[in-house]
Amino acid sequence: MWLDLYLGMAVVLSVECKPLNKGTHNKLLVISFDGFRWDYDQDVDTPHMDKLVVDGVKAKYITPPAITMTSPSHFTTITGRWIEDHGVVHNMMFNSTTHQKVVHKATLKRSEWWDNGALPLWITAQNQGLKTGSFFFPGGAANYSGQSVNRAVVEETGQQDDNETEWQQNIDTVLSWFTEEDFDFVTLYYGEPDNVGHAKGPDHPDRKTIIKQIDRTIGYLREAIQRDGLTDNLNIIITSDHGMTTVKKRPLVDEIILSKYLNFFNLVYFELLDYGGFGMITPKKGKEQQVYDALMKAPNLTVYKKEDMPENFHLSKNDRIQPIIVIADLGFNLNSRFIVYVNKGDHGFHMDEMDMKTIFRAFGPDFKNSYLSEPFDSVHIYPLMCKLLQIDPAPNNGSLSITEGMLVQNGGRRNQMSLGVLASIFVYILFVM
């Protein structure tokens, strides 16, 4: 009898306590709320986000890549590559030779803008036998060297971004992909609070209203996960792409108008300006030094030659980066010839500005409870996702060592009994019963 009991317990110990092996993974849903600044939940009542601090993981904040815009930042998250490596260097698709510019939402459907050799996680996971999907997530509708995500929903121009009923319906849709179609990995994107931050500014009461709506949506998500029986096998990561800051305007400041310092007609061949705090300029042939010297006279502006970009920007090695890069001081929008920008809030500024930092939350069977992470760069989210899905990552610039402390048993399942607990049970049965 005791021999049988011992052998039985030994089997349990070997099965229940082994770490998460390749091929035995939980599912993963990654949700991005565009423009969710790191501190947006600190002046609003957010009971559901507060509960995540107890039930899961919170980072103090995360730092986006150098171009704090929607498309470049999201593609860093989904590829684990710096911007100079993945090549999505702006929200707009552009061609500096033909002067073609394609607006942001139209760019989302243009594979030639996204397919630059860096494979997003959707494709890497599919190539290793997983089913993946994208709902509105930037880049999710593109083809990558002839490969596309199993299921993609593309944001339509003019769609209402703040309809709470539609937000809940989107959650129901992606959860059905997990329950009815056995998807392994899905990304879901919401355009708020970015829209409100632009239109009203980060300090406007409407921003607080939309944060409360996001909090209710997270509450709905958790109820839906329980309703659909996914509590024990679905991990959730909630993050964003960049923060938001108040635009500084007259009469409080002298706004930047670059034509005061630079003759565009004589000196500039191509430019990407008037889009927040980041811009690029291609001088006419032989005029690069003259353009650089002229821009250096503009106040509230930092000017770089491409070859002199600081290494931590990770921008200098891509052909799409133009010869002159300009970054405005926090809150100063780049106006090329005259002031056309009407936004009250914006981004695109230096990634080390606190107003550009953003959020990271995570919960599920593979994440610890009540774990507060130190800040980290968003590029490190990629190897964490690969670890959760138990797939081999594509080449990337992230490091699992930054985030693996968030995980239960370094990637094991939270509901597995520990070796110590099982051993104690065995000893109790052997000597007491």
Catalytic residue ranges: 70
Is 402 in contact with 379 (CB distance < 8 Å)? no
| Paired tokens of 105 | 């939402």
Identify the DSSP state of 257.
B
Q: DSSP assignment of 334-385, as one string? A: -BSSS-----SEE--S-TTSGGG-B-EEEESTTB-SSEEEPPEEGGGHHHHH
Which whole-number Å values give the CA distances from 319 to 69, 71, 83, 212, 295, in the listed order? 19, 17, 11, 42, 22
Dist CA 433 CA 429 (whole Å): 5
Dist CA 357 CA 18 (whole Å): 37
Residue the block writes with tokens 């349990």: 12
Dist CA 162 CA 195 (whole Å): 9
Would the CA dihedral through 83, 84, 90, 93 be positive or negative? negative
Instruction: Please choose, from the candidates 243, 223, 270, the residue with its C-alpha nearest in 3D space to the C-alpha of residue 94.
Output: 270
What's phi and psi for 113, nearest 5 deg? -80, -30
| Paired tokens of 312 | 């931590």
